[in-house]
Amino acid sequence: MSQPIEAFKNSFKIPELKQRIIFTLTMVAVYRLGAHVPTPGVNGQALATMMGEMGGVLTFVDMFSGGAFSQATIFALGIMPYISASIIFTLLVAVIPALEALQKQGAEGQKKITEYTRYATIVLCIVQSIALAALLKSWNSTDTQILTHSDPGIGFFFLCILSFTTGTAFIMWLGEQISEHGVGNGISLIIFTSIISSMPTALRNVINLMGIGDITAFKAIIMIIMFVLVVAGTILVTTGQRRIPVQYPRQVKGRKVLGGGRNYLPLRVNQAGVIPIIFASSLLMLPSMVAQNINIPIIQSIFAALAPGGWLYSIVFAGMIIFFSFFYTAITFNPVDMAENLKKYGGVIMGVRPGRATAEYLNKVMTRITLVGSMFLVAVSLLPNLMFSYLGIMDWTIVSFFGGTSLLILVGVALDTVKQMEQHLVMRNYEGFAKGRRIRSRRG
């Protein structure tokens, strides 16, 4: 334990790193503060009580907003509209030549794509704000009184659009500021903060249910074992590598012999990290939210089957995770470019010809290990369904937090953040967080 503690102490001895850590913590505090700013015209306490009784997918949505959704605060939509817009443009880049050309332009092209993503985020926010306002209006009654007016008009819808859209735009700005001036990926840290904020409520609910006998000691032990296995497995797979031996020729320059010897090309087992789960979760939240505003029985029954815990949801969720795992890996890993770079510097994979054969070999290996990594993500992400079905835990606050999706995101983001801090420490000749070895993040 002394090694990580000493590393944290050393982090504050480096002025630049200390400034980045303080800036990150400040931005996170601002985000949590904004999650409690109420939207005018909404009784947040009454709404939270009502949604707590309803449970289901709304609790899952609320977890990703850090509790803001259940009280309809200005951050009610959270960062998910931005994630959805990012998914859309990630897919469009692969199919629209103009966007693909922009991406190949480097930093300037990526800056333009980011600008388009922001515009798309605003459009999605407006659409989702209207849907959420309609949902709040449909829930309002003399019994619940979640709105201050019994029959809100167009002004209420305009106020919701303004509040929710501005809130998400501000969260998006916070995330970009953290990425640029802080430590870690800003958007990921915001999701991390939202999930971790539900931990006290989940623990309190576990204790309460154990007190009344709904959760037995056996079930509690199973939950602890699942928690430990998911965390350990996530660390193992996230940092896991397939190391391909590469032989480099020796170069003679004058009287000196340079280079040569054997090196290793590390291919990550989980190249995409938790991105597939975040993408799949954000997309599958939409049908359930839409179902709240549609009174057509057939459509409601279809959307109800896509609610977390159902068999159709599990199949679609698993398929989307596998798809996004391969899709994101295909974007970030280019075997042709890697094969060309090896050939350029004289590197040869033992038993494989340089050039096209090397690219095919790398693609074959990456496909296999990506399949293993995606199947692990599927297995862990479906753990909440097991808790819901076999352990009989009906509290979605507990299921959402102790389930695989939230833990995968927490562990993955924590590893990436610690990796960035360790890089600053090692650059300045300080010991890192892991004694005798370097922490390997999802990005390398």
pLDDT tens-digit readout, 427-441: 766 665 565 555 554
Mean pLDDT across the chain: 79
Flag whether pLDDT at 291 surpasses 90.
no
Judge contact between 382 and 318, C-beta under 8 A. yes
- Please, which contacts does 338-346 make with residues 24 or more away whose CB atoms are closer than 8 Å? 338/265, 338/362, 342/246, 342/265, 345/248, 346/248, 346/249, 346/251
Residues 405-415: tens digit of each pLDDT: 777 788 878 88
Tell me the C-alpha distance between 363 and 365, whole Å: 6
pLDDT given for residue 226 in this prediction: 78
Name the β-bridge partners of 245: 264
Taking the whole predicted model, whether its pTM rises above 0.85 is answered as no
Kind and range of the H or E element at 348? Answer: strand 348-349
Q: Report how far apart, in Å, the C-alpha atoms of 302 and of each of 255, 294, 321, 401 are.
A: 75, 11, 21, 26
CA 434, CA 444: separation in Å to the nearest integer?
A: 16
Of 166 and 268, more confident: 166
Residue 142: both structure tokens together: 């003399």
- For the 2-427 domain, the top CATH level (class) is mainly alpha
- Characterize 210-220 residue by residue with b for buried, 16 or more Cβ atoms within 10 angstroms of its Cβ, and e for exposed: eeeeebeeebe
Which residue in 425, 444, 103, 435 sits closest to 273, CA to CA?
A: 444
At 223 the pLDDT is 78
pLDDT of 208 higher than 90: no
Dump pLDDT digits (tens) for 37-49: 888 888 878 777 7
Distance CA 58, CA 77 (A): 12
Q: What is the mean pLDDT of residues 333-338?
A: 84
The secondary structure of 236-277 as a DSSP string is: HHHH-EEEEEEEEEEEEETTEEEEEEEEEEEEETTTTTTHHH
Averaged pLDDT for residues 181-193? 87
287 and 303 in contact (C-beta within 8 Å)?
yes
pLDDT-derived band of residue 166, with 50, 70 and 90 as boundaries? very high
Question: H-type helices in 96-198, by residue range?
Answer: 97-103, 107-139, 154-181, 186-196
User: Domain locations in the chain?
Assistant: 2-427
- Residue 289: what pLDDT? 60
Per-residue pLDDT at 441? 47
